[in-house]
């Protein structure tokens, strides 16, 4: 939902059962075949020794997803998806809007639904995963933004006066507050929203690339009293997360599960988590047969940076965020996927350091992330991850670094030195390490001539490198053995 300014200071049971009993799809229902190096599909979670819940594949490998956001501005093309995959990214967070799915009450836009199906078909082809994000900014088009359709916007005749200098302040307008209240409370709007989610899930189920759904982007709600008062904002956030918001999430979880038993479903807290405020959300039950597939998808933004300031490393933002983010997923055993993060521009010293610190921070609490936003602009302005030449934008290069996307065993430390191109992964061998592959991305930006791989700590390691991926198998590694994998650039 970028950019943000500083106004925020502080269908049927049978169908469902039949889909559940089918085997996991190895390729797209639309006919696309995933590449030889398609990212593993999460089918379960594992708990690592540090107590974290991580996404894992059926072999038990610990998965890490790195990706970008697309779809809010412009149309997603095959070129977008192909480039994302070529750069080593494994995740596309696809921003979609209810206003496009159902532009008039009861009339679904079949053209838009076919477009979404095409995007996932391309993702099937290029071997990336898609998190479908039900996106909203300042409710929807009735207020000059995007998300909820105008026909579902009820303002009670209250005023709306947009702030030309601070669009996030539009959330505090009386008409917007009323619209959110009606969305949460009115039975007909609740039912319409659930039907729209089920319709999209019906269209997209069966794609190999479908990771799941981010159920509601950056939820907001009514703020009694002065909405700019930080104390009122905090009280309103707690009330929303303890009442209306979980009720919405439960409706939407049920709606998707009527047609799709496989997809992962992610819930978001309010944006106050970015100010170090722990969420007050309760846990959620998953009606699917078998283990739950529910995850937590917070965002990772510093509001001062979004207001135009250079990041202050002494301000405590990273430390406060880490403290606020870990309790909820630990208590409910949820994998964490950071849905959005990153400053609007990283050409200043503070913001460049912020990128580095966030990249180092997220492996400590998240199973993956999607940076905002996949576009090209001079110096990476407007949150673009690339410059006008298509290369990583200045300061945003750490997002393009190599990483271990699948680890056979327990992941340990991971580091990358851009100056030398040396990447190092430490892992602890598990019971199945000898028969499964650890996979490390090798982005062309880091290894334009290819890479060399060295394995220390166990004999007879098997190494394969091709198409931007290093695959390592450790047939002689005993459980508990510490192994270090080092990747360096190949020199001509």
Residue that is written with structure tokens 């722990």 in the block: 278
- Asked if the model's pLDDT at residue 471 lies above 80, the reply is yes
* Dihedral, CA of residue 423, residue 413, residue 62 and residue 130, to nearest 10: -60
Mean pLDDT of 288-308: 96
- For residues 397 and 421, the answer to whether their CB atoms sit within 8 Å is no
- Report CA torsion sign: 283, 284, 288, 289: positive
Mean pLDDT of 441-467: 95
Q: What pLDDT digit, counting tens, does each position of 200-235 carry?
A: 999 999 999 999 999 999 999 999 999 889 999 999
Please give the pLDDT value at position 36.
53
Please give the pLDDT value at position 390.
94
- Asked if the model's pLDDT at residue 23 lies above 50, the reply is no
3-state secondary structure the chain: CCCCCCCCCCCCHHHHHHHHHCCCCCCCCCCCCCCCCCCCCCCEEEECCCCCEEEECCCCCEECEEEEEECCCCCCCHHHHHHHHHCCCCEEEEEECHHHHCCECCECCHHHHHHHHHHHHHHHHHCCEEEEEECCECCCHHHCCECCCHHHCCCCCCCCCCCCCCHHHHHHCHHHHHHHHHHHHCHHHHHHHHHHHHHHHHHHCCCCCEEEEECCCCCCCCCCCCCCCHHHHHHHHHHHHHCHHHHHHHHHHHHHHCCCCCCEEEECCCHHHHHCCCCCCCCCCCCCCCCCCEEECCEECCHHHHCCCCCCHHHCHHHHHHHHHCHHHHHHCCCEEECEECCCCCCCHHHHHHHHHHHHHHHHCCCEEEECCCCECHHHCCCCCECCCCCECCCCHHHHCCCEEEECCEEEEEEEECCCCEEEEEEECCCCHHHCCEEEECCCCCCCCCEEEEEECCCCCEEEEECCEEEEECCCCCCCCEEEEEEEECCC
Which is more confidently placed, 434 or 199?
Answer: 199
Bond into 116 cis (ω within 30): no
CATH of region 65-400, choose from 2.40.30.10, 3.50.50.60, 3.40.50.2300, 3.20.20.80? 3.20.20.80
Mean pLDDT of 404-415: 97
Where exactly are the structural domains of the chain? 65-400
- For residues 250 and 256, the answer to whether their CB atoms sit within 8 Å is no
Could you give the percent of the chain with pLDDT greater than 90? 87
Rounded distance, CA 281 to CA 244, Å? 10
- Which range among 27-41, 275-289, 423-437 shows the weakest confidence by mean pLDDT? 27-41
By C-alpha distance, which of 156, 174, 88 is closest to 128?
88
Q: What pLDDT digit, counting tens, does each position of 56-68 carry?
A: 999 999 999 999 9
- Tell me how far the alpha carbon of residue 122 is from its chain's centroid: 18
- Asked if the model's pLDDT at residue 12 lies above 80, the reply is no
By C-alpha distance, which of 274, 324, 489, 317 is closest to 401?
489
Q: What is the biggest distance separating any 2 CA atoms in the chain, rounded to whole angstroms?
A: 73
Please give the pLDDT value at position 239.
98
Rounded distance, CA 382 to CA 374, Å? 10
- Asked if the model's pLDDT at residue 491 lies above 90, the reply is no
- Asked if the model's pLDDT at residue 18 lies above 90, the reply is no
Q: Mean pLDDT, the chain, as a whole number?
A: 92
Rounded distance, CA 153 to CA 189, Å? 9
Q: At what angle do helices 174-185 and 187-204 cross, to 10 degrees?
A: 70
Please give the pLDDT value at position 94.
98
- For residues 403 and 442, the answer to whether their CB atoms sit within 8 Å is no
Q: What pLDDT digit, counting tens, does each position of 159-173 carry?
A: 999 999 889 999 999
Mean pLDDT of 483-488: 98
- For residues 485 and 474, the answer to whether their CB atoms sit within 8 Å is no
Residue that is written with structure tokens 């959110």 in the block: 180
Phi, psi of 487, rounded to the nearest 5 degrees: -115, 130
Q: What pLDDT digit, counting tens, does each position of 313-369 carry?
A: 999 999 999 999 999 999 999 999 999 999 999 999 999 999 999 999 999 999 999
Which is more confidently placed, 12 or 117?
Answer: 117
- For residues 40 and 61, the answer to whether their CB atoms sit within 8 Å is yes
Please give the pLDDT value at position 60.
95
**Residue 265: band (very low, low, confident or very high) from pLDDT cuts 50, 70, 90:** very high
Please give the pLDDT value at position 35.
53
- 269-279 burial, b at 16+ Cβ within 10 Å, e below that, comes to bbbbbbbbbbb
């Amino acid at each position: 939902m970028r950019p943000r300014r500083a106004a925020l200071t502080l269908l049927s049971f049978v169908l469902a059962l039949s889909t559940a009993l089918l085997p996991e799809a190895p390729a797209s229902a639309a006919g696309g075949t995933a590449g030889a190096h398609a990212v593993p599909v999460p089918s379960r979670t594992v708990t690592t020794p540090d107590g974290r819940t991580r996404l894992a594949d059926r072999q038990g490998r610990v998965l890490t997803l790195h990706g970008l956001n697309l779809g809010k501005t412009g149309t997603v093309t095959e070129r977008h998806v192909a480039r994302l995959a070529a750069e080593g990214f494994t995740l596309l967070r696809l921003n979609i809007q209810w206003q496009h799915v159902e532009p008039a009450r009861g009339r679904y836009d079949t053209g838009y639904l076919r477009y979404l199906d095409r995007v996932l078909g391309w993702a099937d082809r290029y071997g990336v995963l898609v998190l479908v994000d039900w996106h909203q900014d300042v409710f929807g088009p009735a207020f000059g933004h995007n998300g909820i359709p105008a026909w579902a916007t009820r303002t009670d005749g209250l005023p709306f006066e947009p702030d030309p200098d601070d669009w996030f302040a539009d959330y505090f307008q009386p008409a917007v507050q009323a619209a959110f209240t009606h969305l949460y409370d009115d039975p007909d709007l609740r039912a319409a929203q659930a039907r729209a989610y089920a319709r999209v899930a019906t269209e997209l189920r069966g794609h190999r690339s479908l990771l799941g759904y981010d159920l509601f982007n950056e939820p907001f709600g009514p703020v009694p009293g002065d909405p700019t008062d930080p104390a009122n904002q905090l009280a309103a956030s707690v009330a929303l997360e303890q009442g209306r918001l979980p009720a919405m999430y439960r409706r939407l979880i049920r709606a998707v599960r009527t047609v799709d038993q496989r997809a992962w479903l992610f819930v978001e807290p309010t944006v106050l988590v970015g100010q170090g405020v722990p969420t007050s959300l309760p846990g959620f039950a998953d009606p699917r047969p078998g283990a739950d597939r529910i995850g937590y998808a917070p965002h990772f933004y510093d509001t001062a940076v979004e207001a135009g300031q250079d990041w202050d490393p002494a301000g405590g933002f990273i430390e406060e965020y880490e403290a606020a983010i870990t309790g909820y997923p630990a208590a409910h055993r949820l994998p964490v996927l950071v849905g959005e993060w990153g400053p609007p521009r990283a050409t200043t010293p503070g913001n460049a350091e912020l990128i580095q610190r966030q990249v180092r921070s997220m492996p400590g609490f998240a199973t993956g992330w999607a940076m905002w936003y996949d576009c090209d602009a001079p110096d990476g302005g407007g949150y673009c991850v690339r410059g006008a030449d298509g290369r990583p934008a200045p300061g945003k290069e750490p997002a393009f670094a190599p990483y271990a996307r699948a680890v056979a065993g327990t992941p340990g430390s991971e580091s990358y030195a851009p100056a030398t191109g040396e990447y190092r992964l430490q892992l602890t061998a598990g019971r199945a390490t000898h028969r499964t592959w650890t996979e490390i991305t090798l982005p062309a930006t880091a290894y334009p001539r290819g890479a060399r791989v060295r394995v220390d700590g166990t004999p007879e390691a098997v190494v394969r490198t091709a198409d931007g991926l290093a695959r390592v198998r450790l047939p002689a590694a005993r459980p508990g053995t510490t192994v270090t994998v080092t990747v360096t650039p190949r020199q001509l």
